[in-house]
Amino acid sequence: MTVTTEQPDPGIVRWTPPGTGETATSVYDGTFREPGGGMTEFLLVYKFGLAEINTKVTILAEELAHKGRGNPIEHVLPRLKTPASISAKARRIDCPLTFEDLRSRIRDIAGIRIVCSFVSDVYTVAEMLTRQPDVHLVVTKDYIAEPKENGYRSLHLIVEIPVFLSDRVVPVPVEVQLRTVAMDFWASLEHKIYYKYDPDIPPALRDELVAAAEDAARLDQRMERLHREIHGPRR
C-alpha cells in the first residue's frame, strides 16, 4: 500500500523549547518521547489501522467490479498525518502535547479519502464499510446533506478499527472522507485558494466558490440521472 504523508516522517518531533510544563507523560523536553517509544511508535498503530481500512475498501472495489455492478470507487487516497501537522493541530485546538491527549483529541491522524462516481455510491460505500462487524462507527458528519457555508460537500466518518498487535488489541480511529469526483474537484481548488488567501478570501471569490459548489452538485445530479437512464439503478 502506498501511504502518502504530507512530508517525510522525521521520527522525532521538536516541539517547544525545553524546560516548560514537564509532567509524567509530557513531551516538553523538546522531543516527543514516552517510555518505550517515540513518535514513530506512536504513529505505527495509525499506519496499521489505515492499512486495515484501505484493504477493506480495496476488497469492496474489486468485488463490486467483479460482480459486474460497476466499481463505484474512482480512487482512494490514504494518508497519515505528519508529526508536524499533528503538532500544528494540537496547538490549534489547545491540546497538551502528550501522546495520551493526542490520542484522544486528534481523531484524524489516520485518514482515507474515497472518491466515488456518484452521490448514491458515497452512501452505498459508507454503508458497506460501516456495517462490517469490526468497524465501529464513532461519528458521522454529512456535509452532503448539509454543506458547509463555503459550499464544501463530503461525507465524513470517524471509524474505529481493531489492530491486533503481538500482545494487545488497539482500537484505532480513522477518518474516512467520502465524496464524488465533482466534490473532490471543487475541494482541491478551494483548498488551494484558501491557502493562498488564508484567512481572508475576497468576498466575491467566496461567493463564486459557493456558486461553483452548487454547479458541481447539479452536475453530480445530472450525471447520476444520465447513468441511471443508460444503465438502470445499481443492483
Task: State which residue has the least CB distance to Mg ion.
Answer: 108
8 Å CB contact between 159 and 173: yes
Task: State which residue has the least CB distance to ligand GTP.
Answer: 152
Q: How far is the CB of 168 from Mg ion (least distance, A)?
A: 27
CA distance 131 to 137: 9
> Counting contacts by CB under 5 A, is residue 79 touching Mg ion?
no
Name which of ligand GTP, Mg ion, none residue 130 binds, using a CB cut-off of 5 to 8 Å depending on partner kind.
none
Beta bridge partners of 156: 141, 177
CA distance 125 to 72: 8
SS3 state of residue 221? helix
Nearer to ligand GTP among residue 48 and residue 194 (C-beta)? 194
Residue from 62, 127, 149, 175 carrying the catalytic annotation: 175
The residue assigned the cell 514516552 is: 34
Residues that bind ligand GTP (CB under 6 A): 89, 108, 141, 148, 150, 152, 156, 177, 187, 190-191
Whether residue 63 lies in the annotated active site: no
Cell numbers for 70: 460497476
Scanning 23-31, 102-110, 146-154, 161-169 for contacts with Mg ion by CB under 5 A, the matching segment is 102-110
Nearer to ligand GTP among residue 16 and residue 150 (C-beta)? 150
Q: Could you say which residues in the range 161-200 bind Mg ion, by CB under 5 A?
A: none
Beta strands of 81-204 (E only): which ranges?
110-116, 136-142, 155-164, 169-180
Name which of Mg ion, ligand GTP, none residue 81 binds, using a CB cut-off of 5 to 8 Å depending on partner kind.
none
Name which of ligand GTP, Mg ion, none residue 234 binds, using a CB cut-off of 5 to 8 Å depending on partner kind.
none
CA distance 57 to 63: 10
8 Å CB contact between 174 and 110: yes
Q: How far is the CB of 4 from ligand GTP (least distance, A)?
A: 13
Beta bridge partners of 178: 114, 155
Name which of Mg ion, ligand GTP, none residue 141 binds, using a CB cut-off of 5 to 8 Å depending on partner kind.
ligand GTP
Q: Could you say which residues in the range 108-147 bind Mg ion, by CB under 5 A?
A: 108
CA distance 95 to 140: 22
**Would you name the residues annotated as active-site residues?**
175
